Amino acid sequence: MDIIKDRRGRGIDISIYGAAGGPVALTPAGLEAALRVKHALPGKPVLWARAFEKILGLAPVKMGLRLWNGKKIFFLVPDDTGNFISTIDDIILRDQYNAGVLRGRTLVDAGANIGVFSLYAYALGAKKIYAFEPVRETFEILRQNLALNRAGCKIEAVNIALGEKAGSAEIMYQTRGEGSAMIPCGGEVNRGVTYSGRRKVRIAPLDALIKGKIGFIKMDVEGYEKKVLLGAAGIIKKYKPVLSLSAYHRKNDKKELPRTVLRIRGDYKISLNTFAEHDFYCE
């Protein structure tokens, strides 16, 4: 049977579990069909779920991955099946954040969502992971995924939003599935996304939360990347961690974010990765 491979040609076994059955192996053809459905029906999660059930032969409730290094990680499948499978494709199969450098490093996952990147980093041998997720419903799924993998010893989940200064702000959020969320801070962000609610969340700068050495910072914070960078300026100046940050939420991100990084520390080399969602890789 054909196996799924990441963009570097390394084999990854993906198994899908249903409430009363499984596992069923996800094939390359099944993955391609699932992603095609997701892209053909934007914003239609109920139709995605029906299509994936037909493709897989069961309604997915859990996914297991065995990586090329033999490590296994598991995820609860959220209601928003299409975005979840797309996230697995981007972060793990396309290796969106160039995670090969993570072994032995302490890292920050800003915008951890349900923990896909954090658990991938855990499986790749990261020393310690600080996973920040402000939306409590999404944070609860994150906690469940950490428990499912017995990863609490290495991954510290924190229910807070990172930003430039300590305080609070209103966040717009989705509670369905993986739960996209954003803190409005001027300009248009995430056109076409609808949110189910608003609430106040606590904000803190990374510099106030972590005092030790950080070797890698991943950011996907829905247009709030500049604020998070400024709140981590002390860590960035002192330790020069690798930075991997989203570059597509705001129209001017591709100009403004590199300038912000270089104002904080001018010796970064910055490249734009385009093999998944666009991200700046700063080293």
Report the first-to-last Cα separation within the chain, whole angstroms. 39
User: Which residue, 144, 140, 97, 105, is CA-closest to 122?
Assistant: 105
Q: Do 107 and 215 meet the contact criterion of CB atoms below 8 Å apart?
A: yes
For the chain, domain boundaries:
1-94, 96-283
Please give the model's pTM, rounded to 2 decimal places.
0.92
pLDDT tens, residue order, the chain (283 aa): 689 999 999 999 999 999 888 799 999 999 999 999 988 888 788 888 888 888 888 899 999 999 999 999 999 999 888 889 999 999 999 999 999 999 999 999 999 999 999 999 999 999 999 999 999 989 999 999 999 999 999 999 999 999 999 999 887 766 654 446 655 555 555 555 566 667 888 999 999 999 999 999 999 998 889 999 999 999 999 999 999 999 988 788 999 999 999 999 999 999 999 999 899 999 9
Backbone conformation region of residue 87, classed left if phi is above 0, alpha if psi is from -120 to 50, else beta = alpha
Whole-angstrom distance, CA of residue 193 vs CA of residue 73:
29
Which CATH superfamily includes the segment(s) 96-283? Vaccinia Virus protein VP39 (3.40.50.150)
